[in-house]
A and B are shown apart, each in its own frame.
Chain A
Amino acid sequence: MKRINADQVHFRDLNEQLRNSNGEVELRNVCGQRFIAAGFSRRNIDIHGVPGNALGAYLDGATITVHGNAQDAVGDTMNEGEIIVHGNIGDATGYAMRGGKIYVKGNAGYRAGIHMKAYAEKYPVLLIGGRTGSFLGEYQAGGLIIVLGLYEGQEPIVGNFPGTGMHGGKMLIRSTCEDIRFPGQVTAQSATKEDLEQVRAHIERFCELFGYNVEEILDAPFTVVTPDSKNPYKQMYVQN
């Protein structure tokens, strides 16, 4: 495994060093460098320290593991690959991601999964082990968001205004969501066995990564949130 000491290294130079390496790479002493691994494919990157904003933006197949917290806009517009965060994550996680997977052990900030989208075989998945801030899945257009709320004192497990402007995709929240107010254009209902079976593989991956038991996680009420219509804005401006 190649090791890179990122201490005091500018993000441009850091990405240059990453570009010149293949296979397994470990970054040490990362502190706030932005755009790490932006657009990268074919690599496994292990990060120690705090990576800066837009980690793995436009990611195209690489796997990134963060052994700690990550900041804002992780996986911005990512296309393929996997981002695994062993701590908490900042705001706007998976901003407009259109493929690949993000697994977060801890909590997410505001606007997790904002404007996620899907097309044909591209189906992004964002899985949060803890709770999330407000505006979860804002303007979500596709893909899957799962929030588990695994830790003590995490009610409500999502903040205010989840699903604002949501018009595609699906959210799965491990809660009855009694205290949570959803906007008018989405439907929230109890998850069925089939709903859970469909996402089981993602939860299994989460458990494998972070050491949890799948059955224990699934043995709880889940709520499925989906938009009422594929095109809620159909008649907003013109009749079409």
Chain B
Amino acid sequence: MKPEGQVRIPSGCAISAMISKNGERMSGEKIIESMKPMHDRSNGLGGGFAAYGIYPEHKDYYALHIFFDSRAARMECETFMNEKLDIAKSERIPTRIIAEITDEPLIWRYFVLPRRFALQNSQLDEREYILRLVMTINTKLDGCFVFSSGKNMGSFKAVGFPEDVGRFYRLEEYEGYCWTAHGRYPTNTPGWWGGAHPFTLLDYSIVHNGEISSYDANRRFIEMFGYKCTLQTDTEVITYIMDYLLRRQGLTLEEAAHVVAAPFWSTISRKDEAAKEQLTYLRTVFPSLLITGPFSIVLGFNGGLMALNDRLKLRSMVVGHKEDLVFIASEEAAIRVMEPDAEDIYAPVGGEPVIVRVKEGAF
């Protein structure tokens, strides 16, 4: 069987997210439940969750979640990491044995910081140092795959239906102020644990419903900056684009949204002068990062999330509120499961980001 990366994957999918603007932590139970009415949007070949605020006791450490094919792969990876990182804690990620999830790899997590002298010698900032380390493990070490690498957050994913994946990882035992979820419908792939969503890099995570047609154009551009697209999935490239635009280029979320889902020139021409100038600038400077084809995504990060549809809105996405909670999902039914009395349910306009931030100091 070919691993992912050698197979192209068109996908259908379901997404869901919930966030508390007051930073109040919620168990993973509701987000798991929200995926049930959307069951038929997935086909059991991938499900996953990202959770923010779940590791307060290690919040200053990068939490690396890693799949290993074998004990030998783990030993090799640990030897490599020991040279580069101070490992404060390492443990198996607790799972529950259930019939629906099989063939699991070894699943570990490490709370780490860069070794001081190694970091100094590298002349990189801390986040870039971690990013490069993740890229090295994922491309150079056989049988090892880092699928989560942010602080005080984590991604949990597997081959299976999302509600089963949630139970497998015992997500009801975690508490986070923000959760995102994904159910996958790859139609011609073997389905691999690393290929499930969310895709993450540092604290950025992406869940994605859609099939982007600009993958190769985007990939060629982003690979010039040290990102390695190892999986050939469109979601991976979106994750790297977001890291590039937000962390490296320092764009705001709105600006990044207007790069990847840039309005049509005809739409830009009808804006006021200031908006026209800004949108023209962004389209001109980053033409290769325009993402075309259908997508609805939720980008999670420490302290908030951004939901975005492609500019033609070829995928559904609805938003609802209740007190300080904001809910986002592919279908309203999923929101009703999380909060039956959710208010102001609406579908955002294609290309216009919905940005939710946890209030300062609450995460």
- Interface residues, chain A, with chain B CB atoms under 8 Å away: 31-34, 49-50, 52-53, 69, 71-72, 88, 90-91, 109-110, 133-135, 159-160, 181
Contacts and interface: CB of A to CB of B under 8 A. Distances in A.
21 contacts: A31-B37, A31-B333, A32-B37, A32-B333, A32-B336, A34-B40, A50-B332, A50-B333, A71-B316, A71-B331, A72-B316, A88-B346, A91-B313, A91-B347, A110-B313, A110-B350, A133-B313, A133-B349, A133-B350, A181-B266, A181-B270
Q: Which of B40, B267, B332 has the most CB of A within 10 A?
A: B332
B293 to A, nearest CB: 15
B38 interface: yes
Contacts of A71: 316, 331-333
A34 B333 CA distance: 11
Contacts of A88: 345-346
B313 A53 contact: no
B356 interface: no
Contacts of B37: 31-33, 52
Given A90-B316, A133-B313, A160-B267, A109 B347 contact: yes
A31 B313 CA distance: 23
Contacts of A109: 313, 316, 347
B334 interface: yes
B336 A134 contact: no
Given A69-B332, A133-B349, 16 more contacts: A31-B337, A32-B331, A33-B37, A52-B331, A71-B316, A72-B316, A72-B331, A88-B345, A90-B332, A109-B313, A109-B316, A110-B347, A133-B350, A134-B312, A135-B312, A181-B270
A168 B96 CA distance: 58
A199 to B, nearest CB: 27
Nearest to B38: A32
Given A31-B37, A133-B349, A134-B313, A53 B267 contact: no
A51 to B, nearest CB: 8
Contacts of B334: 32
Interface in B33-73: 37-38, 40
B331 to A, nearest CB: 6
A33 B334 CA distance: 11
Nearest to A89: B347
B347 A53 contact: no
Nearest to A179: B270
Contact of A159 (B38, B337, B349): B349
A134 B349 CA distance: 8
A33 B337 CA distance: 13
A110 B315 CA distance: 10
Contact of A134 (B316, B331, B332, B350): B350
Contacts of B347: 90-91, 109-110, 133
- Nearest 10 CB-CB pairings of A with B: A32-B333, A32-B37, A110-B313, A50-B333, A31-B333, A50-B332, A109-B347, A31-B37, A72-B316, A50-B336
Contacts of A69: 332, 345
Contacts of A159: 349
Interface string B120-137: 000000000000000000
Contacts of B38: 32
A32 B313 CA distance: 21
A109 B37 CA distance: 21
A33 B336 CA distance: 13
Nearest to A91: B316
A228 B327 CA distance: 44
Contacts of A52: 37, 331, 333
Interface in B333-362: 333-334, 336-337, 345-347, 349-350
Contacts of B349: 133-134, 159
B270 to A, nearest CB: 8
Nearest to B267: A160
A88 B346 CA distance: 9
Contacts of A50: 331-333, 336
Contact of B336 (A49, A72, A110, A133): A49
A160 B332 CA distance: 24
Contacts of B333: 31-32, 50, 52, 71
Contacts of B318: 90
Interface in B284-339: 312-313, 316, 318, 331-334, 336-337
B22 to A, nearest CB: 27
Nearest to B270: A181
A184 to B, nearest CB: 12
A49 B340 CA distance: 9
Contacts of B316: 71-72, 90-91, 109
Contacts of B266: 181
Interface in B202-259: none
B1 to A, nearest CB: 31
Contacts of A135: 312
A136 to B, nearest CB: 13
A109 to B, nearest CB: 5
B269 to A, nearest CB: 10
A159 B349 CA distance: 9
Nearest to B34: A32
A33 B266 CA distance: 39
Nearest to A34: B40
A90 B345 CA distance: 11
A135 B310 CA distance: 14
A181 B347 CA distance: 22
